[in-house]
Amino acid sequence: MASVTYECVTKEFGDVVAINELDIFVEDKEFLVLVGPSGCGKSTALRCVAGLEEVTEGRIYIGDRCVNDIAPKDRDIAMVFQSYALYPHMSVLDNMAFGLKLRKVEKAEINRRVGVAAEILGIEDLLDRKPRQLSGGQRQRVAVGRAIVREPTVFLLDEPLSNLDAKLRVQTRAELSKIHKRLQTTFIYVTHDQVEAMTMADRIAVLKDGICQQLDTPQNLYDRPDNIFVAGFIGSPAMNFFPAAIAKQDGRLLIDAKSFQVEIPTEAKDLYGHRVGASITFGIRPEDIHNPDFAPPGIAPAPVEAKVEVTELMGNEIFAYLASGEHSFVARIDPRSRYSLGEDVQVAFNMRNMHVFDRDSEDAIR
> pLDDT of 185-234, one tens digit each?
999 999 999 999 999 999 999 999 999 999 999 999 999 999 999 999 99
Q: What is the CATH number for 218? A: 3.40.50.300
Q: Mean pLDDT across the stretch 38-61?
A: 96
User: How far is 321 from 349, CA to CA, in rounded Å?
Assistant: 14
Q: How far apart are CA 329 and CA 327, in angstroms?
A: 7
Can you give 88-148 as a three-state secondary structure string? CCCCHHHHHHHHHHHCCCCHHHHHHHHHHHHHHHCCHHHCCCCHHHCCHHHHHHHHHHHHH
**Does residue 53 fall inside a structural domain?**
yes
Are residues 255 and 206 part of one domain? no
pLDDT surpasses 70 at 309: yes
Question: Are 273 and 303 members of one domain?
Answer: yes
In a domain, 328, yes or no: yes
Reply yes or no: is the peptide bond before residue 160 cis, omega within 30 of 0.
Answer: no
Do 219 and 257 belong together in one domain? no
Same-domain status, 37 and 64: yes
Same domain, 188 and 73: yes
Q: What's the mean pLDDT when you consider all of the chain?
A: 94
Query: 331: domain range?
Result: 240-358
Q: Is the same domain home to 247 and 228?
A: no
Nearest to 306 by CA among 295, 318, 290, 293: 290
Domain total in the chain: 2
CATH number at residue 244: 2.40.50.140
pLDDT digits (tens, 9 = 90+) for 250-266: 889 999 999 999 999 99
Residues 287 and 311 in one domain: yes
Residues in the chain: 366
Query: Which residue type, as a one-letter code, is found at position 288?
Result: D
- Find out whether 260 and 323 touch, Cβ atoms under 8 Å: no
Task: Give the pLDDT confidence of 93-149 residue by residue, as tens digits.
Answer: 999 999 899 889 999 999 999 999 998 888 999 999 999 999 888 888 898 899 999
pLDDT band of 292, cuts 50, 70, 90 = very high
Residue 275 belongs to some domain of the structure: yes
